Structure 1
Amino acid sequence: MRLVIVSGRSGSGKSTALAVLEDSGFYCIDNLPAGMLPELAERVLLDAELLRPQVAVSIDARNLPSQLKRFPALLDELRQRNIQCDVLYLDADNATLLKRFSETRRRHPLTDEHRSLAEAIHEEIALLGPIADLADLKIDTTGLNLYQLRDSIRLRLLEKPEPGTAFLIESFGFKRGMPVDADLVFDVRCLPNPYWKAELREYNGLEQPIRDYMAAQSEVEEMFNDLNHYLSKWLPRFAASNRAYVTVAIGCTGGKHRSVYLAERIGQALRTPLRNVQIRHRDLS
């Protein structure tokens, strides 16, 4: 049995996450009382019609605070029964959540005559802390649109090829903000920039003209060797510590040339010593 527990502050994208999982064959339940997790797992395991059951549940601030405080013990109980559990936690910055509620005109579940929307959004941090602290995968949806969030969930949760630590090698551009959910961040803006070559500017790091240019630069080769050596040595230590997801972010100015070239090359190189390696280019659009 595989169980995905989706949580996060209101407006962070939980409904989208459940929709993606449902489209992928998961039986989805929204707003499940946390205390019912063991009973749900028992019923699913006893159902002979489900040979490879996949269930996703949303647990959020609509739960009673006493139920949310029990979450760590409930999760431990599930895992002791050898149930594969992934805890996905979605979040966004306060300004983005306020904007989303203003645009949709939805009522926040914690607002009342004594609590404003801003106060309710802030209060969720403490309420959902027991879940956030145990999340296997956190996705910051601040800068993501609907389609980007769907793609991110598919890549991280659904395209994970086998059990074990899933490593994501991600390129990005600093001008669009650093990915806050990255575990390791490397800045490669010190390398020669193809952007300043007029004949190369319109290509990206996946295309042959940029690959040829980067491969000819001695500093690039030195950076690749150093990063590849470091990651080949230390990423297996993350796997040994039972981490479910690890994100390595490589950034340049715009996220189009240098970071894309290195992320792609390093990701391909790491697929030899590591099993679950995914590559994503955040700003290549």
Structure 2
Amino acid sequence: MRLLIITGLSGSGKTIALHTLEDLGYYCIDNLPICLLEAFSNHLVEDPEPIFRHTAVGIDARSQPSHIAKLPEMVAKMREQGIDCEMIFLEAQQETLIKRFSETRRKHPLSDDDHSLDEAIRQEQEVLEPLASTADLRIDTTHTNLHELRDLIRGRVTGGSRQVSLLFESFGFKHGVPRDVDFVFDVRCLPNPHWQTELRPLTGLDGPVANFLESSEESSQMQADLTRFLESWIPRFEADGRSYLTIAIGCTGGQHRSVYITDQLYRHFKQQGRNVLSRHRELS
């Protein structure tokens, strides 16, 4: 019996996540009040109907703050009951959320005559902080479009393996460090293909850039050291019960070095039979 709790900030993509899971065969319930979650989980245990074998529940900030604060404790109790329960928290930067609400002309669930959209978003962030800090997986959708979010949800929660799900993500420091990651590695010390005129318009996925970096001793050593580190510590996280790990590799612009190293790590762990995804934030 698997129960996914989809929560997070309004406008961050919770509805898209639920629709994606519904397409994958999950029984989805949107905007379930937290006060009803315990009764529903008891029903799952006492009367495990086949239709509820894979269930996803959407929860937002309209529940009472006291109920929201108790949700992590409820998740722990459901796990003790034998339910494979995970909480996924979706978020985005405030400027992005404001833009999304302005474009769709939707009303924020916490906004009213006394609270502006900006104030409502800040209030929601404060109310949901207990969930953000204890979620099994956090997904920042600031730089993610609808199709990319669907692919992330499919890849991260439906792999079918109880191994930890690995996401290798390249990014550019000049565009900001991803917030929803477990490890950040800086590869700006490697030789930069940007300064080679013929390589500048290419990416780390192109052969000439890969050949340039493969010829560098520093690049080979960086790749080998990161591989050894992750091979040593991923099993420790698995033993601790972790389901998801996100490893971010950053260079200046997110086009050459970080893309190349991310792709090499993805290929290495994919060959080991692990549940692995790769994403190149700035290329998308």
Instruction: Give TM-score, length-normalised by structure 1.
Output: 0.90
Given that 2:143 and 2:281 are in contact with CA atoms closer than 8 Å, whether structure 1 keeps it comes out as no
Deviations 1:197-233 (A, max 9, x none): 2333343323332222221111111211222222222
Given that 2:166 and 2:277 are in contact with CA atoms closer than 8 Å, whether structure 1 keeps it comes out as yes
Given that 1:236 and 1:274 are in contact with CA atoms closer than 8 Å, whether structure 2 keeps it comes out as no
**Unaligned residue ranges in structure 2 (runs of 5+):** none
- What SS does the aligned partner of 1:70 have? helix
- CA drift at 1:252: 1.6
Q: What CA distance in whole angstroms lies between the structure 1 residues aligned with 2:130 and 2:184? A: 26
Deviations 1:73-113 (A, max 9, x none): 21112111121112110111222222222222222222233
Match of 1:205 in 2: 204
- Please tell me the residue identity of whatever aligns with 1:197: Q
Please, what is the CA RMSD of the aligned residues?
2.2
Q: What CA distance in whole angstroms lies between the structure 2 residues aligned with 1:115 and 1:194? A: 49
Q: What CA distance in whole angstroms lies between the structure 2 residues aligned with 1:187 and 1:161? A: 32
Q: What CA distance in whole angstroms lies between the structure 2 residues aligned with 1:271 and 1:240? A: 20
- Please tell me the residue identity of whatever aligns with 1:221: S
Q: What CA distance in whole angstroms lies between the structure 2 residues aligned with 1:262 and 1:9? A: 32
- What SS does the aligned partner of 2:225 have? helix
Match of 1:253 in 2: 252
Match of 1:156 in 2: 156
The alignment status of 1:183 with 2:182, answered yes or no, reads: yes
- What SS does the aligned partner of 1:150 have? helix
The alignment status of 1:102 with 2:131, answered yes or no, reads: no
- CA drift at 1:247: 1.0
- Please tell me the residue identity of whatever aligns with 2:236: R
- What SS does the aligned partner of 1:56 have? strand
**Unaligned residue ranges in structure 1 (runs of 5+):** none
Q: What CA distance in whole angstroms lies between the structure 2 residues aligned with 1:255 and 1:71? A: 37
Q: What CA distance in whole angstroms lies between the structure 1 residues aligned with 2:186 and 2:240? A: 26
Q: What CA distance in whole angstroms lies between the structure 2 residues aligned with 1:234 and 1:44? A: 35
| Structure 1 residues 102 and 156: alpha-carbon distance in aligned structure 2, compared to 1, 3 A threshold | same
Aligned length: 283
Match of 1:171 in 2: 170
Over the matched positions of the two proteins, sequence identity in percent amounts to 48
Deviating more after overlay: 14-23 vs 265-274: 265-274
List, as ranges, runs of 4+ consecutive aligned residues in structure 1 with deviation greater than 4 Å: 271-274
- CA drift at 1:49: 4.0
Q: What CA distance in whole angstroms lies between the structure 1 residues aligned with 2:23 and 2:272? A: 33
